[in-house]
Structure 1
Amino acid sequence: MASRTPGANDVTAVVPGALLVAQPAMGDPNFSETVVLVLDVDDDGALGVVLNRPSPLLVAAVFEEWRDLVGEPEVLFRGGPVGTDGALALALLRDPEQAPQGFRPVLGRLGVLDLETPVDLVQPALARLRIFAGYAGWGPGQLADEVGEGAWYVVPAEPEDVFSPESDDLVREVLRRQPGAMAWHSTRPADPDLN
């Protein structure tokens, strides 16, 4: 998937650490107006988490031991429609040279943290933490097809995207910082027929 020919809507390739921003053509309501961080891409498909869908459920109600490490809002986020009975954590390290046990880097100091790792072993190394219930998954070639059909913009991520306190505005924030005409898309209404 990562080796496909870039299209007119691409800024970057679909690789771990890239963002997928739903375009108006997105037909799946699970992903309408979403920003997805890609975590893994290989010949078997792709995996990521939706960054801007907070749930009403407090982290403390499900993961009491992690409650003091998550930032505002202190809720679980809906990472996607797959595996919603499981959880995945994204963490930002204080020092990239001091990665703790259970941490797998994705983008610089940002990576996936195994929630089975004892909190006291990782707490000193972490600057930020967010926990997601479920994830987004695509089979072989599926994500490349969706990008080719105009369902997603593919853009570079910044680690702070994961921890944005204003998740409702994340789509616009990400598009606004893109080069050229793509920045104009940050002003479009959610329903393009209203334009």
Structure 2
Amino acid sequence: MARLADPAASRVVLVGGARYTHLRPLPTVANNLDELAAILIDQTLWGLPPENCTVVRDPASPQEIDAALATASGSVRPDGLLLFYFAGHGLIDPLTGSLHLAVTETNRNMVHSTATPFEWVRRWFLNAPAGARVVILDCCYSGRATEGMGEPAAIADEVEIDRTCVLVAAPANRTALAPPGERFTAFTGVLIDLMRNGVSAGPPLLDMDTLYRRAEQTQHARNRPLPQLRARNGGERIPLVHNLAAVTGTGDGQPEPVPPPLRIPMPRPGDVFTPAEELDYDEETGGPYGPVVVLAYDQRIGALGVRLGRPVPRPPNEVLTDARLATAVGPSEVLDGGPVSGVVLMIAELKRGARGIPGARRLSGALVALPLSADPELVAESVRRAWVFTGYLGWRPGQLEAELAQRALIPSPEPLTSWLDRQAE
């Protein structure tokens, strides 16, 4: 029969980044930490001794998180639970593709040296003697997009740890982490409601699988990114708290009323989207999005696009493998198109009356998405100017629509031409 881990033998590390020097602030993360700590310490839910719950607020350096993990993993006992929770910005090392957890001084241009590698978390968990281990991540996984236009890469696969249950907020590369007007971040808010209020018709103890499945149902109903769970050796059956709804018969097991999904127009290639005012992008601090343009869209497959406004000091002939194509497009601007590296995409403006280029996809007016396989002679004849993008953004089926519904992104009143002209100035 399942039972809660011994609170006296357990250790919990709750980490949250609400304030950043170079990244967008996430003020509701502070509320996450306060409420989660209160739930775990509550005698009616679990009864963790306060001294066994380490709360790391706005860590200034990666070493601050590492030190908290070292202490917790070294003092947890075999009959206890080791739990690590992180809410904040998640960034990807562009060279290795590995997940890093942002701290106050993290710089997205120096992720490898200014953020906490998730590998550090993995290392402490693998060495800990705890009989039960849980990792919960509520962060934007801003470098792991879809592979091409297919299924999204799974965060949970990237952060899986042997003998550990890992629950992550979303499977894709961007998440509307803190919806405007809500007290908690989107995913953690659901967990808090479930843990605090209980699940009717649920088990006496709320285990990871129950929390995951109910959170998934709620997020799906709200048209929000879906969580993922990875567990080995029965880790999904690790209980966290008593199910108060099962004990009292009063809880309904559902968080606040679920609003109906919003109807939104279908995105089209050539559409430009910018962050909503509440999630405004700042080129100095680096928001999770910035302006983006959709290059390809299929409701069944997903969408692909690139970021705008991030020039890279490189000439086209260093990016394009076909020297003839680089010559054909002339002195084009090179831009950082997104966190998924190793892929080059192009936008071109055709000359008036120019012949069509096979494989080119119309975006807006004379602008097309130009295939790298285009005939260089035809490109030289037909293209007035071009923009070269290194990297891209991907959306799984329904994800871009969900971000529009949540107003994480809003349609830009300016056409694509204006954005491209602006960054060329």
TM-score by length of 1: 0.67
What is the CA deviation profile of residues 98-144 of structure 1, one whole-angstrom value per residue up to 9, with x for unaligned ones? 21234221222111111222311221111110110111111111112
> Does the 8 A contact of 1:39 with 1:47 survive in 2?
yes
Tell me the equivalent position of 1:22.
275
Tell me the equivalent position of 1:122.
379
Tell me the equivalent position of 1:136.
393
Deviation at 1:32, TM superposition (A): 3.8
Alpha-carbon distance change, 30 to 141 in structure 1, aligned in 2, over 3 angstroms: farther
Deviation at 1:86, TM superposition (A): 1.4
Segments of 4+ in structure 1 off by > 4 A? 27-31
Q: 1:153-168 to 2 correspondence within 5 Å?
A: 153-155=410-412, 158-161=415-418, 163-166=420-423
Tell me the equivalent position of 2:356.
99
Tell me the equivalent position of 1:38.
294
- Given residue 81 of structure 1, which amino acid in structure 2 is its aligned partner? P
Alpha-carbon distance change, 27 to 95 in structure 1, aligned in 2, over 3 angstroms: closer
What is the CA deviation profile of residues 70-120 of structure 1, one whole-angstrom value per residue up to 9, with x for unaligned ones? 55xx442111122x1010111111136621234221222111111222311
> Does the 8 A contact of 1:130 with 1:162 survive in 2?
no
Alpha-carbon distance change, 56 to 38 in structure 1, aligned in 2, over 3 angstroms: same
> Does the 8 A contact of 1:23 with 1:153 survive in 2?
yes
2:318 to 61, 70, 92: 61
- Given residue 270 of structure 2, which amino acid in structure 1 is its aligned partner? G
> Does the 8 A contact of 1:49 with 1:80 survive in 2?
yes
> Which range moves more in the overlay, 22-31 or 38-47?
22-31
> Which range moves more in the overlay, 128-137 or 157-166?
157-166
Distance 2:364 2:404 in 1: 21
Q: What SS does the corresponding residue of 1:61 show, helix, strand or coil?
A: helix
Distance 1:127 1:91 in 2: 7
- Structure with the higher strand share, 1 or 2: 1
- Given residue 16 of structure 1, which amino acid in structure 2 is its aligned partner? P
Distance 1:90 1:123 in 2: 14
Q: What SS does the corresponding residue of 2:400 show, helix, strand or coil?
A: helix
Alpha-carbon distance change, 103 to 42 in structure 1, aligned in 2, over 3 angstroms: closer
- Given residue 302 of structure 2, which amino acid in structure 1 is its aligned partner? G
2:337 to 65, 79, 83: 79
Instruction: Report the count of equivalent residues.
Output: 157
> Does the 8 A contact of 1:50 with 1:136 survive in 2?
yes
Q: What SS does the corresponding residue of 1:56 show, helix, strand or coil?
A: coil
> Does the 8 A contact of 1:17 with 1:38 survive in 2?
yes
TM-score by length of 2: 0.33
Deviation at 1:46, TM superposition (A): 1.2
Alpha-carbon distance change, 110 to 86 in structure 1, aligned in 2, over 3 angstroms: same
> Does the 8 A contact of 1:96 with 1:109 survive in 2?
no
CA-based RMSD: 2.9
Distance 1:15 1:163 in 2: 18
Deviation at 1:36, TM superposition (A): 0.9
> Does the 8 A contact of 2:293 with 2:416 survive in 1?
no
> Does the 8 A contact of 1:91 with 1:129 survive in 2?
yes
**Structure 1: runs of 5 or more not aligned:** 7-11, 170-195
Deviation at 1:153, TM superposition (A): 1.1
Deviation at 1:27, TM superposition (A): 9.2
Deviation at 1:156, TM superposition (A): 5.2
